[in-house]
Amino acid sequence: MISICIPTYNRREYLKQTLASIFAQTYKDFEVVIVDDGSTDGTEQMLKEADYPVRYHWQKNSGDASARNKLIELAQGEYITFLDSDDLLMPDAIERMIVAINSVREDVIVYGPYMAIDENGNICKRKRKKLYSGYITPQLFENILVHSCGSMFPRKILQHARGFDANLPVSSDYELWLRLSLKYRFIALSAPTFKRRRHSGNLSERSFTNRKIELNVLENFYYNNGGKEAIPQHRAMKRLGREGYRAGRCALREGLIETACQMLRQSFRRHPNHKSLLWLLVAISKSRLSLSKK
């Protein structure tokens, strides 16, 4: 019925805990598929020695999106739920998600909030975002509400959407959820479906490069992939301005002063506000100081 799909890369020790959380599920009608994206830490040997009942596929390192696309190809279940190899499923997550999917007669996507934990499994305090059900394109554009983990998708809709954009090193899941939100309803669960581990090896590191990619994803969706028809302009410009501001702050922190000026200037034009103006003035000041030293 369900394929629990795990992309992994050099996370052997975390993967043990991830698998333990899967095999402790209250719902049992599932298969576990692992795509190892080129691990060199003995992941395959660990799986053999532990004799986990999983289907395992190794591939040359090609990135997270490529690994997820391979998982879609290999999955045999009617439904797919992804789980990163450092995260943990809540014990009844699969049961709650499949009950929600079976409660309607159409193809829907089910998702839930997460509980943040540190690298040792300790719970971290965080402000929980409000989740929405229905056609959630405007809300999803404004905030990343849906994650690849703790969500469930009919396999056929992932196949019809042609999976994840393998050209994106980050945000490929967000890009796909935005596209899917134009066609399918989402059902939000109230209780957490997974524990999301935060550690130094997370792919979604807050760098200028990653922030700029997320901004590009938002711009492309809004201007080229149907976002304009679903999202009011003032809400779209506020979101694009906010993400441009974040990218500009990262650029400034990384010493990319001229890029920071460009990003913050664009951010302020899209959504004028005191915070963006303040940091634009800081960036301009640093730029002038840099030029005076040459």
How high is the pLDDT of residue 201?
58
In a 13 Å sphere around the CA of 135, the CA atoms on its Cβ side amount to 8
How high is the pLDDT of residue 286?
93
Per-residue pLDDT reduced to its tens digit, 3-26:
999 999 999 999 999 999 999 999
Pairing relationship of beta strands 108-111 and 30-36 according to DSSP bridges = unpaired
Sheet holding 185-188, edge to edge: 55-58, 30-36, 2-8, 79-82, 151-154, 108-111, 185-188
How high is the pLDDT of residue 283?
96
How high is the pLDDT of residue 228?
97
CB 93 within 8 A of CB 149: no
Name the strand (E) or helix (H) holding 27: none
Domain with CATH 3.90.550.10 in the chain: 2-197
Sign of CA dihedral 58, 166, 77, 192: positive
How high is the pLDDT of residue 292?
79
**Is 208-292 a domain of CATH 1.10.1060?**
no
Neighbour tally for 29: CB within 10 Å: 10
Per-residue pLDDT reduced to its tens digit, 114-124:
999 998 889 99
Query: In the CATH hierarchy, which fold is given to the domain comprising 2-197?
Result: Spore Coat Polysaccharide Biosynthesis Protein SpsA; Chain A (3.90.550)
Q: What is the pTM of this model?
A: 0.93
How high is the pLDDT of residue 125?
84
- Listed as ranges, residues in the chain with pLDDT below 50 are none
How high is the pLDDT of residue 173?
97
How high is the pLDDT of residue 200?
62
How high is the pLDDT of residue 204?
56
Domain with CATH 1.25.40 in the chain: 208-292
How high is the pLDDT of residue 294?
65
What's the DSSP call for residue 167?
T
Which residues lie closer than 8 Å to 137 by C-beta, 6 or more apart?
A: 178, 181, 182, 227, 230, 231
